[in-house]
Amino acid sequence: MKPYAFGIDLGGTTVKCGFFKNDGSLIEKWEIPTIKDNGGVQILPDIAAAIKGKLSERNVSPEDVEGVGIGVPGPVLANGVVNGCVNLGWGVFNVAEELSGLLGGIPVVAANDANVAALGEQWKGGGEGHQNVVMVTLGTGVGGGIIVGGRILAGGHGAAGEIGHIQMRKDETAVCGCGKKGCLEQYASATGIVRMAHLALKEERKLPSLLDGKEITSKEIFDAAKAGDDAALGLVDTLGEMLGTALAHITAVVDPDVIVIGGGVSKAGQILIDAITKHYRTAAFHACRDTEFKLAVLGNDAGMYGAVRTVLNR
């Protein structure tokens, strides 16, 4: 194997770039802005320029680069074709082929960003030492990635691991960002738990007293729950019920060794894990009832690590 590789995590506002040795150790990381003008035409040329710039700065020949892995915020097929990225203005094209062309033929592997984050956590994070990992990322939405046998499950449409859009409630009237109603992320994300708090207020249930006069954020809700506020505990329990039930469905299909919980909401820590596992253990098939839950450890670097792993593990 050649001595160096790059891991790129392409986000809606910044591109996180990592320059690695082929043993997976990080040499340097940096960021460049994501310029989304004109349908995002400049994004891949900017990434190619950043990679070439780093190679010349460090006096490394492109011949010594094993490959570039890139995580993209949209559905990506195993062959590198992205099936539209609404955030970036991208349609359908082969990201891997195009970036490789801009880099003079350095091999490129492209995958969905949540999936590469899951691969990063499986490789060097909360799932380290396990080959089969389900990761859930709880942020503005609910993202997910499924790693089977140490490899990303991309699926037939690049949409494997879209855990956030599992339908949980048929009676929901609010519309999810995906256009459906009753998706997991309408309840179990940072936005979801805040939405539920506002609904509880409307129904004149007891207000989380610790939230009086404060803007409601998911952190405030978890803090109030930790302080013993009944209404906040109820909101956290509902989030746990939604996630725990959805994960029980997922484990009945995938049966992972471990489930990793990441994203901003996971900073709530043990109270979140407890809320999820309480419902998970009652809903799960008996053989996977004791599946271990772990918190993610790589934070914002998970995507970069997972992206480079895709080229180091071809």
Of residues 18 through 57, those in contact with Zn ion by CB under 5 A are none
Q: CA-to-CA distance for 313 and 311, rounded, in angstroms?
A: 5
Amino acid at 269: G
Question: Is residue 85 at the binding interface for Zn ion, with CB under 5 A as the rule?
Answer: no
Q: Name the minimum Å distance from CB 179 to Zn ion.
A: 7
Q: Name the minimum Å distance from CB 141 to Zn ion.
A: 8
Evaluate whether 161 touches 118 at the Cβ level (below 8 Å).
yes
Q: Residue with structure tokens 């995507």? A: 303
Of residues 246 through 305, those in contact with Zn ion by CB under 5 A are none
Evaluate whether 24 touches 124 at the Cβ level (below 8 Å).
yes
Q: Name the minimum Å distance from CB 160 to Zn ion.
A: 16
SS3 for 247?
helix
Q: Name the minimum Å distance from CB 265 to Zn ion.
A: 17
Write the CA distances from 211 to 197, 221, 224, 225, 267, integer angstroms: 10, 8, 7, 10, 19
Q: CA-to-CA distance for 60 and 2, rounded, in angstroms?
A: 11
Beta carbon nearer to Zn ion, 122 or 189: 189
Structure token digits, residue 107: 């091999």
Q: Name the minimum Å distance from CB 84 to Zn ion.
A: 16
Beta carbon nearer to Zn ion, 78 or 159: 159
Q: Name the minimum Å distance from CB 169 to Zn ion.
A: 12
Q: What is the DSSP letter of 181?
A: B
Q: Residue with structure tokens 């253990």? A: 281
**CB-based contacts of 84-87 (< 8 A; 24+ apart in sequence):** 85/40, 87/12, 87/36
Beta carbon nearer to Zn ion, 29 or 169: 169
Of residues 152 through 181, those in contact with Zn ion by CB under 5 A are 165, 176, 178, 180
Structure token digits, residue 57: 């700065």
Beta carbon nearer to Zn ion, 169 or 219: 169
The residue count for binding Zn ion (CB under 5 A) is: 5
Beta carbon nearer to Zn ion, 62 or 177: 177
Q: Name the minimum Å distance from CB 188 to Zn ion.
A: 11
Evaluate whether 292 touches 258 at the Cβ level (below 8 Å).
yes
Beta carbon nearer to Zn ion, 183 or 200: 183
Beta carbon nearer to Zn ion, 25 or 173: 173
Q: Name the minimum Å distance from CB 126 to Zn ion.
A: 25
Q: Where are the alpha helices (DSSP H) in 155-262?
A: 185-188, 190-202, 218-226, 230-254
Beta carbon nearer to Zn ion, 165 or 279: 165
Length of the chain: 314
Binding string, residues 181-220; x marks residues near Zn ion by CB under 5 A: --x-------------------------------------
Residues that bind Zn ion (CB under 5 A): 165, 176, 178, 180, 183
